[in-house]
Structures are given as C-alpha cells and as structure tokens.
A and B are shown apart, each in its own frame.
Chain A
Amino acid sequence: MDMSEYKEIFKAESEEHLQQLNDSLLGLEQNPKDLEYINTMFRSAHTLKGMSATMGFNTIAELTHEMENLMDMVRKSQVAVSNGLIDVLFECLDTLEALVETVDSGETIDISTLQGTLTKAMEGTLPVNDIASTVAESIETIEADVGTELEPEEEVIPQTDIDLSESEKQAIATASGDGNRVVSLKVVLDDSCVLKSARSTLVLINVTKMGEIIKCVPDEAELEDEKFDLEFTVIFATKTTDEQIIETLKKISEIKEIIPTTISETAGSDEKEEVVKETESEAQQTTGSGVKRSDAVKSIQSVRVNIERLDNLMNLVGELIINKIRLNQLASDLNAKDLDESLANLDRLTNEIQTEVMESRMVPIDQIFSRFPRMVRDLAKSEGKQINLIIEGKEIELDRTVLDEIGDPLVHLLRNAVDHGIEPEEERQNIGKPIAGLVRLAASRQRNSVLIEVEDDGKGMDPAHLRDVAVKKGLLTREEVDKLSDADALNLIFMPGFSGAKTVTDISGRGVGMDAVKTKIEALGGSVKITSVPGQGSIMRLQLPLTVAIIQSLMVTVSDETYAIPLGNVIRDVGIKASDIKTIEGKEVIMLRGEVLPLLRLHDVLNCPTEPEEKENLIVVVVEKMGNNIGFVVDDLLGQQEVIIKTLDNKILKNMKGFAGATILGDGSVALILDIATLI
C-alpha cells in the first residue's frame, strides 16, 4: 500500500499528539499525583504507535511502544513519578519530535541510548507481575506434548497422544453419555498472525458456542500468555458435525488449518466438571482495562486543508476583488445604470467570500502559545530560576501568515524576560519579591488588531543604563542620548547593534536582537511598544493586524502617482490653508484642534521629480506613528479602498524603506503601499 499520500496528515496529527504529550507532561510535573495526565499521555503515545506502525516508521513505533509500557507501569503504580522520570519522558518527546521531522528526509536517528534509559526507568522499582500471569489457573496442569499429530481420517480411541487426567477422562465419558461426541481439534494459525493469544481466544469462543471444552493444549492460561507457537489443540464435547465445525471456524481470519478428529463417540458416567466457564470469568476480571476517561471534550467536525491551498484561495479572492473594482469603474465610466443591481450583488458576494476565506485562515494563537510553557520551563531550569508562566487569551485568532511570523519574535521576548528580566532567586529574596518570577503572555483582540503582551515582574529596564550602553557601543553620542526622554531611551534597545545584556548567555547570544523583533513585527504592519519600571518589571506590547493579505487603504495621489496608505495608520484627513502653515525650528507645522501637528510634504518625502504646483487649499492626511501624529500633505484624495498586498520580492524594491508592498488598481496600474513606520 502506498502510504506517501498520508504523510501530511500523519505529520499534522503527530504534531498535535506531541503537543498534547508535552502539555500533559508539564501538567504531571506540577501535579505528580494526578494520573489523568498519565492516562492522556498513554493514549497519545498509543495512538502515535498505531499511526507510525501503519506508515512504516518503525523507530517511532518502537519508541512510543516503550513509552506506552513505561506509562502503563506508572499508572499501575509500579513506577513512581519522579523528576528523573519526567526528564526521561521529556527526552522521549524531544526525540519523537525529531523523528517526526525526519519522516520527509528519511534520516535515521539512533534511539538505542534513550531506549537504555527507558529500560532503566522501568526497572527502577518494579516489576510486580504482568497481567497475564496473574490469571488464576483453574484447569489442572497436566504435562502434555504440544506437537500432537493427529491424522484427520484417524478413527476413534479415546486415548490420543494427549495425556488426560482422570477427571478429564471422566468428563469425556460423561459427554459421550449425553449423546455428544468428543472432538480433538487441531488449529494452526497463519504465520503472519500477530496477536496469537487473542486469535486463540476467538477460536475458543466459537468452539464454546458449538460444545463444551474439556481440555486445551497448551492450557487456556498459556494460550492467553501466548505461550505457544502457531498451533494448539482443543478437546471438546459437541453435537456438531466436522463440516459444521470447519465451516464456523473458517469465518475466523488468520487461521491456516483446522483439523477435527473424533476421539470418543459413546458411553459415560454422571459426574461433570465445569472448568472452562470459571477460567473465562476469572480472565475477564483480570484483563479489563483500567483506563479512566478524561472529561468529555466535544470534537469539532473539520477538514484539514493545506495552507498553500488557502493562500491560493486568498490570491484568487484578491484577483476577484481587483476585477470587481475594475467592473465598477467601467460601469461608472459607461454610466451603465442597468449594471448597478448586479454589481451591488457582486459586491456583496465578493465581500462575503473574502470574509469567509479570511476566516478560514484564522487559527487560534494557542498554536504557537502552546509550545512556550515547555520552552520557559527548560529555560528557567537551565538558569536555576523559578518562573510562573501565565498565558491568557490563547483562543484569540490570527491569520495563519501572521501567526507563522510572530513565533520567533515571541520566543525572543520570552527569553529576554526569563534571562534578563527575572532576577536570580537570592536577589529576589533580598528585595522581598516572591522567589518565583512571573512572566505573563497575553493576547487580546482590539478593534482591528490583536495585542500581545509579554510582561515580567523582574528588574525592569533602567533608562540611564540604556543610555550608557548606547554611547559605549558608539550608536549615539552622549549629547544625543541625554536629549532622549526616559520613554525614548527605552526604545534604544531596538537599535541595530544594541544588546541590553550585561553578560551574554547562551540564551541571549543567538543573533536575534530586539531590532530584528521590531523589523519583523513592523513588516507585518504591526508595532512594538515598551513600558518598563526599574525594579518592577517590563511590558512589551505587540500590536498585530488580524490579517495581512488585504488591507483597507486610503488612496492618495502625489505627482500624478497613486499611493495607498494603510487605513490602520490614518487618523483623519483635513483640508488646510497654505497660509495657516507655521514653522518651528525650520519645520512646517499647523495648529489643529489646539495641537501642534508636524507637516511633511509627501512629495518631498518620496523625492518626486516634478515640482508641485503652489496651492492655497491643501489636503492633509493625519497618520499615527508610535503614538505621534504627523500630517502628510498630498495632492489629492481618491478615497478608501481595500487593496491586496503584493510583496516586493524584487531585489531593488525589497531593500527600499518606506514601502510595505504594491497593489494592482482597478485600472490595472500599480500603486505602492506606504509603510509609515519606515517611511519617516
């Protein structure tokens, strides 16, 4: 069977189980007595085992099989939950994760060392006994030859190669007296049969339906223990014919041969020995599975769709919208009133499709949040710190593309919080803070964006120290830094080449500075803000757009070129008189509603070649950048429009600051989308 087509779903589902395993293990570490965590982990490992065996990923199957065994022992209290055990299990999860990642490349990972550790973990205290051997043996044990050869056509004689005890001989006699014949049935299983014991049970169940079992060779306990090769013999009393017996047993799969031989036809005494039923009920008691169910979690009916397909869909919707706009323009150019109603319908439909497609790309932020508890735990452990991580708003949804991009920045911010923010234990104790540091990761939905906060109750940032570092690193002069307000000084950490760490640890020295965080977030159309109180902690606030591919923009013209300003940045537009413009320190400003608004001529900012005409009535678009308002003087306003961002992957344009991308307008022309954050 070709399994390659299942690889994607295998990987996706495996990752979910790995996450579940990680979560449960973290839970178990907090509450070692709560066996529900172990049960959940057992189920996940078990499911992974079945899936990987089906895919032919034998290393994964082997490892999960051993993990399953270990967890089974834990839930039976044969192995205690210790720190050592937790660490071993974490190591297993890491290895599993690596193994799942290699399913594409076909690389191999040697798990023998880990298997050795697992074996040690299992041997730690244990082993009491495995289930099967505790099954009470109510059938008398009799020495018997397993390889009994009975010719199918052979006739009668109660004494077969199998030794029979007195009671069994009696039972045979009794059965014969009741009008039964006694059959010795040899059953040979297929070589490929995996669960031989269960297969033999199925045979015995079916035999019981036809008559009464007198003896099994090997006995039933041994059959259940799988202490036999491929064949076993059942002696039973029945009224059924050989043909019927064969017919019935043939319906069981994985059976190679069924050979019934009649060993007794007549006569008998009155005593009866019912041993079989007893054995069965005993076995039933001891083999029931002891797994408790977790709280009911209603599953969602959903279909897995490759993200690429969603991206394509999004692009197509983009094209559709462009065409819709083009049609609208044509209709108004042609003054074709008849088209109005159909166009209005088209408008509504494309809007709905767009909303649906965007919705379908939204995923809960938990998809990335969920990996942080483990990361923070490991980090805290390696630093010898205690950290309580609080996660809020993990149900908040974000566009998949945005989500993919914010993983690394968040990792960096959390690392900073643990590494630089939270003080060492003694220091916290000395200043009267709780020993365990607090790190809070919270997402919340704002009007048109999502706010993610990373907060710690550590030592905070000292503006004076940051100024010193900036000077020492030669990023700014002493004069320059002294001009900065304390709030602005905090923003120094976003400068390329700035690292706030006094000592570089293996955690912070990863080459991703705060400047990279800022660049990444701003590239997504978001922003980063810091607040920090020395001695009390810091908060990083990431403001992110819900989705990136389509943005509402204000369309403006400058020197006959059209530009799109993302509406998220726009506060309002106002008409002003050129004569009202004043200058402060050589810079143009205007008084607007009692506030000073700095003005910039977009014409100059963009270095447009043509000279703008002198006008008295000017149009100003007020935009917001990091809490400050700035007015852009533009030539004309075209109105509001949703534009599809096409990224500038062209080498030249990519490196140009100030543009978030380009978009295609209704008339087919291209307009650049301004990126206010980098433009000024």
Chain B
Amino acid sequence: MIPNMGDMNKMVKVMIVDDAAFMRMVIKDILTKNGHEVVAECVDGLDAVNKYPQVKPELVFMDIVMPNMEGIDALKKIMEMDPAAKVVMCSSIGQQSVVTDALKTGAQDFIVKPFDAAKVLEVIGKVI
C-alpha cells in the first residue's frame, strides 16, 4: 500500500453535483463530518456549470447520469472555463466507457457508488 501523500487535515471547498438529493446528502455528510466544506450543491450539470464560476470550489464531485446536462458535458464546460479545475467523477458500476471518456477530458479521478467514506476522503487527499 502506498502511503497517502495528500494532506488529510486541509479543509477543502467542495461542490457536489448529483440529481439525487439522497446522494448529495450522503456525500455531504461524509465531507462535513471530516472537516471539509460543501460550498455548493447542484442538481444537474447545467446547475454546476452556472455555479462553478460563482463559488470557485477547489474540488467538484460530479455525478454522470443527470437530466438537463450530463456530468460529462458539464465536465467539458468546466474544464473550458477553468483548465485547472479538479473534478472527480461519481460513477456507478457499468459506466467504464463514460468514466474513461471523462478522465481523458480532464477529470482528476473517479469514485464508484456505493461510496465508502474512506475512499471519498482518500480521493480528496490525493487530488488536492
């Protein structure tokens, strides 16, 4: 096991994008209970693209399948706005191709549902 190089104590400003309030709540609780700040919750890709420049999060958790604008399209738009954006895709089993596509577009990492608190925190530590 490679030791974790990220600073786990740093408070990270996170934006959560997921159309399911349930999923947002789960991620949000994991983050806030571990000292991170959720600066925005977005209900779809469009919402995320609109809010990104306003809240300037350090990290974005982006769901993939959403109405109005899919995660992959929102990722592309955000990467255009801010090439240094750090976006982590939230995927389900069976979405290899989309995740691969997202990573090639510039997503930093991905996590797979069901979320495990340790994994989420590990990803934050590594990406930031």
Contacts and interface: CB of A to CB of B under 8 A. Distances in A.
A48 B66 CA distance: 12
A197 B96 contact: yes
Contact of B98 (A47, A55, A289, A294): A289
Interface stretch (A198-206, A305-313, A454-462, A637-645): A198-206
A615 interface: no
Contact of A6 (B26, B92, B94, B96): B26
Given A65-B93, A194-B93, A297-B68, A51 B23 contact: yes
A201 B1 CA distance: 20
A46 B23 CA distance: 12
A49 B95 CA distance: 12
Contacts of B126: 250-253
Contacts of A179: none
A599 to B, nearest CB: 58
Contacts of A293: 67-70
A46 B96 contact: no
A40 B101 CA distance: 22
Given A224-B100, A293-B68, A299-B43, A251 B94 contact: no
Interface stretch (B8-16, B54-62, B77-85, B108-116): B108-116
A198 to B, nearest CB: 4
A287 interface: yes
Interface centre among A65, A194, A257 (most CB of B within 10 A): A194
Nearest to B69: A293
B68 A296 contact: yes
A1 B96 contact: no
Contacts of B47: 299
A292 to B, nearest CB: 9
A653 B66 CA distance: 54
Contacts of B92: 46, 49-50, 53
Nearest to A255: B2
Nearest to B27: A54
A304 B100 contact: no
B1 A202 contact: no
A265 B24 CA distance: 50
A382 to B, nearest CB: 33
Interface in B108-128: 109-110, 112-117, 119, 122-123, 126-127
B23 A131 contact: no
Contacts of A131: 97
Given A291-B70, A297-B68, A54 B115 contact: yes
B26 A54 contact: yes
A236 interface: no
A545 to B, nearest CB: 31
B60 to A, nearest CB: 16
Interface in A48-91: 49-51, 53-56, 65, 68-69
Given A198-B91, A294-B67, A294-B68, A50 B104 contact: no
B100 A287 contact: yes
A251 B113 CA distance: 20
How many chain A residues sit at the interface, stated as a range, is 35 or more
Nearest to A69: B94
A6 B22 CA distance: 7
A288 interface: yes
Given A65-B94, A195-B110, A299-B47, A50 B5 contact: no
Contact of B104 (A195, A284, A294): A284
B23 A54 contact: yes
Given A1-B117, A255-B2, A256-B1, A205 B103 contact: yes
Contacts of B19: 43, 47
A140 interface: no
A231 B103 CA distance: 19
Contact of B114 (A56, A132, A224): A56
B5 A9 contact: no
Contacts of B122: 253
Contacts of A6: 22, 25-26
B20 A50 contact: yes
B127 A201 contact: no
Interface in A268-305: 280, 283-284, 286-289, 291, 293-294, 296-297, 299, 304
A64 B96 CA distance: 17
B106 to A, nearest CB: 9
A299 B20 CA distance: 12
Contacts of B26: 3, 6, 54
B17 interface: no
B46 interface: yes
Interface of B: 1-2, 5-6, 19-23, 25-26, 30, 43-44, 46-47, 63-70, 72, 90-101, 103-104, 109-110, 112-117, 119, 122-123, 126-127
21 contacts: A3-B26, A6-B22, A6-B26, A47-B23, A47-B65, A49-B92, A194-B93, A195-B93, A198-B99, A201-B100, A201-B104, A250-B2, A252-B126, A253-B122, A254-B119, A255-B2, A256-B2, A287-B100, A288-B101, A289-B72, A289-B97
Closest 7 CB pairs of A and B: A287-B97, A198-B99, A54-B114, A50-B113, A53-B114, A194-B112, A299-B43
Given A195-B95, A253-B122, A284-B101, 20 more contacts: A1-B117, A9-B22, A13-B21, A13-B22, A47-B65, A53-B92, A54-B113, A54-B114, A55-B114, A194-B112, A195-B112, A198-B96, A201-B104, A251-B5, A289-B70, A289-B97, A297-B67, A297-B68, A299-B43, A299-B44
